[in-house]
Structure 1
């Protein structure tokens, strides 16, 4: 609300200054056309008025330039805020994806560990069976030697 009131005051001041400039230009033109002789005091006042008119014109242009710069800065700030929000949203999405990938890796690791334990158990079972087969082969060889040596007697 304060910005709006300040803006209204600026606009009113600019209108007043513009009107003063126009009045001074009219007075200057009138003096140039109609005046044949003016005393030093009147000339000094007219010169001062003309100087003030030029100063007012320069100030008006500066105010307009500053207003354009302010508008550009406001627009840039809005763009920056929007880009910041987008970057924050992208960061949150990336963090969520990283968490999801981490969970997937942890689950894969757990499954891998279970498979490894199962493979170790199977390996032990195979080794045990292999040992049993070797014992049976040894028994078969021993029995077949005994049978062949008994057949020789």
Structure 2
């Protein structure tokens, strides 16, 4: 084309030809992501029995792939990256709120169960301490009764038996 004096057309054509690998990579990203999204959606639907969860997984992967393809193409990267981060943050915040509100009853039950178990454990410890104190009192009274009769110290009898 330069021979005809149309250098502008040859420049555009050269830029387009150099852009072809990026287009192929973006298409490849979208195709592979679509296959992966369908596979993951099938697994999620099969394991949870929920079409909604499968669709969320499927479209989440496709949206992620679309952002990756746009980044690969170099289309407005200063706009794509922040948009993706804001979208991802919004999804994470929505999930956190949903789990927080949905798990409120479960969390309350866990705290109540823990409190009850703590009270039961406290009672068991107190009963064990009382039992130990009673046994120590009985041992002290038994040892004082056994030494009164023969005038020996409690350990003296044991020493004689061992030797």
Q: Same fold by TM-score, threshold 0.5 exceeded?
A: no
Q: Flag the structure with more relative contact order, 1 or 2, with Cα contacts below 8 A and sequence separation at least 6.
A: 1
Asked which structure has the greater CA Rg, the reply is: 1
